[in-house]
Amino acid sequence: MCSNVNITSFRDCKQTYWTLLKYHMLCAAAPDGLSDICRGDSGSPLICEGSLQGVVSAGHFPCILPFEPVIYTRICMYRKWLYDTMKANS
């Protein structure tokens, strides 16, 4: 399933997830409040202009509440590790 989301500022996201949010994470939320992430969706991609930018990392259990942001792991923070791991295993 696809959904359009807007990136949420780190400061705004920190208000929702003040104990959980770290520098290697980013947040996005559906502007219509209808799309949500639920248990089992971890690892789902955040794609911007055809490029993988993040993977679902965390949120409220069992599902995100309407208009609340989803936490994604920033892929760019792990780029070297990803390339090295793929190279070593190809």
| pLDDT (average), residues 71-79 | 94
The pLDDT score that the predictor gives to residue 35 is 75
Is residue 1 one of the residues assigned to a domain? no
pTM, rounded to two decimals: 0.85
Peptide bond into 31 cis (omega under 30): no
- Give the number of domains in the chain: 1
Which residue did the predictor score with more confidence, 65 or 69? 69
Peptide bond into 66 cis (omega under 30): no
Give the C-alpha separation, 26 to 58, whole Å. 10
**What is the span of the domain harbouring residue 19?**
6-88
Indicate which CATH number applies to the domain containing 34: 2.40.10.10
Query: Are 8 and 69 in contact, with CB atoms under 8 Å apart?
Result: yes
Supply 25's token pair. Answer: 């994470």
Supply 23's token pair. Answer: 């520098």
Tens-place pLDDT, residues 24-65? 999 999 998 887 788 888 899 999 999 999 999 977 778 878
- Percent of the chain scored above 90 by pLDDT? 60
Give the C-alpha separation, 54 to 44, whole Å. 8
